[in-house]
């Protein structure tokens, strides 16, 4: 089996590469990544030594490059993680989100049609369902919840999902889609809440909490997400959507305070900053379908996963300090101001 993993130099794609190499030692794993600001070859250091692994630098929206790659490696499966993934960046620069997330997904599926494929799996997000109110904790996103997006990021992901469904219906392309809640764990780029707060706390810098910090996210340890995608890829039904989440809801403030407590840092580091425009209030996944049909359940509770994650950032300072030392500094100053 040959599996193309797009976006494998990023956070979840990188974890998925390691999951697949370990679990399926006979599979050939080909990572395709454009190495944008979020892609990091250091994430793949451990994989580069594996003869079953190949890295190809390419943009998924570049049709010639994608076709040439498919021609050469004739994949059985394609798992599409490649995306512009940060909501805040989509608010300042939506264009690239449309190009990569929508056009790029279309180009990959055209290549799948042209060269033949067992399955194209689209890694989507719970953000395509919009948000839930804070005062109705009994509500959850199911696979039937209508798409109702808030940010250019989530709109681009929803656009890609619709395109995937269209290719399945019109061209009979074998596809599956997964919609997962917020991930956390090793190799998470430090612009996102959890790694940003860990890095700032370790550097005794202010922790910028948007608004009142009352927004709720449903946190899933990244390795549980990888296991779920693996199950869907091999056993999921053609044309189906699967929600992935583990009932680990926390307010942002709870998450930030947990990190400070674990690191022995004072809550006085918390700084309330201007809210994100259009900020979604609450995400919460109902994972009944993937549990019932594929037997998936998350293995990691948030209280354990956050400890593992903090330990990883303590043990791998070089990985994230290299990022903080580079171009990311300019982004941080523009986003949060030089005082933070
Ligand atoms: P990430 O930003 O860490 O990584 C994205 C990767 O895609 C990077 O390596 C980047 O270089 C690559 N990439 C970007 N544009 C590309 C292009 N045009 N061609 C080829 N490669 C390109 O993202 P992530 O957090 O790992 O998210 C991966 C996927 O999972 C995304 O599709 C995202 O929408 C989805 N998702 C993320 C979360 C989360 O909590 N992080 C939750 C649910 C779904
Ligand atoms: O739900 C899945 C989504 O989760 C994925 O589709 C996205 O790719 C991923 O980035 C993530 O989106 P969020 O916007 O939820 O994640 P982020 O880490 O950016 O923010 C989490 C929450 O923390 C959100 O309510 C905004 C808040 N926040 C974030 C940052 C970066 C802050 O309060 N301060 C910050 O500095």
pLDDT at residue 338 above 80? no
Residue 82 Cβ inside 6 Å of ligand 1? The answer reads yes
Q: Is 11 in the pocket of ligand 1 (CB under 6 A)?
A: yes
Pairing mode of beta strands 207-210, 2-6: unpaired
For ligand 2, pick from 134, 160, 180, 182 the residue to mutate: most ligand atoms within 8 Å of CB.
Answer: 182
Task: Tell me which of 35, 63, 81, 217 to substitute to probe ligand 1's pocket, judged by most ligand atoms within 8 Å of the beta carbon.
Answer: 81
Please give the backbone phi and psi of residue 3, each rounded to the nearest 5 degrees, phi first: -120, 125
Contact 283, 218 (CB under 8 A): yes
Q: Judge residue 156's burial from the number of C-beta atoms within 10 Å of its C-beta, 0-12 exposed, 13-18 middle, 19 or more buried.
A: buried
> Measured from the CB, is residue 96 less than 6 Å from ligand 1?
no
Average pLDDT, the chain: 97
pLDDT higher than threshold 90 for residue 326 = no
Q: State pTM to two decimals.
A: 0.98
Place of tokens 């494929």: 117
Specify whether the CB–CB gap between 232 and 242 falls below 8 A: yes
Token pair for 51 = 């003869």
* Counts of helices then strands in the chain (DSSP H, E): 14, 13
- Confidence at 339, pLDDT banded by 50, 70, 90: low
> Is 267 annotated in the active site?
no
Cα 10 to middle of ligand 1, angstroms: 6
Q: Ligand 2, closest atom to CA 191? A: 31
- Which residue's CA is the closest to the ligand 1 atom numbered 33? 85
> What is the Cα–Cα distance from 229 to 121, expressed in whole angstroms?
8
Whether residue 1 contacts residue 76, with contact meaning beta carbons closer than 8 Å, is answered with yes
**Which tokens belong to 316?**
């791998």
Q: Is 85 in the pocket of ligand 1 (CB under 6 A)?
A: yes
pLDDT band at 169 (very low <50, low <70, confident <90, very high): very high
Q: Compute, in angstroms, the gap from residue 137 CA to the centroid of ligand 2.
A: 20
* Catalytic residue check, 153: yes
pLDDT in tens, 19-54: 999 999 999 999 999 999 999 999 999 999 999 999
Strand order in the sheet with 175-180: 53-57, 28-33, 2-6, 77-80, 119-125, 175-180, 241-244
User: For residue 340, what pLDDT band results from cuts at 50, 70 and 90?
Assistant: low
Rg (CA), the chain: 19
Query: One of 18, 129, 153, 332 is an active-site residue; which one?
Result: 153
Give dist(CA 19, CA 40) in Å, integer. Answer: 18
Is residue 106 within 8 A of residue 120, CB to CB? The reply is: no
Provide the sign of the torsion angle of the four alpha carbons 81, 189, 213, 309, taken in this order. Answer: positive
Least confident of 142-146, 210-214, 316-320, 324-328: 324-328
Catalytic residue among 33, 59, 84, 127, which? 127
Q: Please give the number of the atom of ligand 2 that sits closest to the Cα of 209.
A: 33
Query: For residue range 281-313, what is the model confidence (pLDDT) as tens digits?
Result: 999 999 999 999 999 999 999 999 999 999 999
Catalytic residue flag (residue 304): no
Point out the catalytic residue in the list 33, 59, 126, 224. Answer: 126
Q: How far apart are CA 257 and CA 262, in angstroms?
A: 9
Beta-strand (E) ranges in 65-117?
77-80
Beta carbon of 39 within 6 Å of any ligand 1 atom: yes
78 has pLDDT over 70: yes
Ligand 1 pocket, 81 CB below 6 A? Answer: yes
CA angle 110, 31, 176 (to 5 degrees): 50
pLDDT at position 331 is 86
């Amino acid at each position: 089996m040959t599996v193309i993993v797009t976006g494998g130099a990023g956070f979840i794609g990188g974890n998925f590469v390691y999951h697949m190499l370990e679990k399926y030692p006979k599979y050939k794993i080909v990572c395709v990544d454009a190495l944008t600001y979020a892609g990091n070859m250091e994430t793949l250091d451990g994989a580069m030594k594996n003869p079953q692994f190949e890295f190809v630098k390419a943009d998924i929206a570049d049709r010639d490059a994608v076709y040439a790659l498919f021609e050469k490696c004739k994949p059985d499966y394609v798992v599409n993680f490649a995306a512009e993934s940060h909501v805040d960046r989509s608010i300042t620069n939506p264009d690239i989100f449309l190009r990569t997330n929508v056009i790029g997904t279309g180009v990959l599926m055209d290549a799948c049609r042209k060269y033949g494929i067992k399955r194209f799996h689209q890694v989507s997000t719970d953000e395509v369902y919009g948000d839930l109110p804070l005062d109705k904790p009994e509500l959850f996103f199911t696979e039937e919840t209508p798409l109702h997006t808030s940010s250019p990021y989530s709109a681009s992901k929803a656009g890609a999902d619709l395109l995937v469904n269209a290719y399945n219906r019109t061209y009979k392309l074998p596809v599956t889609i997964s919609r997962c809640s917020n991930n956390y764990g090793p190799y998470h780029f430090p612009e996102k809440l959890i790694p940003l707060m860990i890095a700032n706390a370790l550097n005794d810098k202010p922790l910028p909490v948007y608004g009142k910090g009352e927004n709720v996210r449903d946190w899933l340890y990244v390795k549980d997400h990888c296991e779920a995608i693996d199950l869907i890829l091999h056993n999921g039904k053609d044309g189906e959507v699967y929600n992935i989440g583990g009932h680990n809801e926390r307010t942002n403030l709870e998450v930030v305070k947990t990190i400070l407590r674990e690191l022995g840092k004072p809550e006085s580091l918390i700084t309330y900053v201007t809210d994100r425009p259009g900020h979604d209030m609450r995400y919460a996944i109902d994972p009944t379908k993937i549990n019932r049909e594929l037997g998936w359940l998350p293995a990691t509770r948030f209280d354990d996963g956050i400890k593992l994650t903090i330990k990883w950032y303590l043990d791998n300072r070089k990985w994230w300090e290299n990022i903080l030392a580079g171009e990311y500094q300019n982004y941080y100053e523009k986003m949060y101001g030089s005082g933070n």
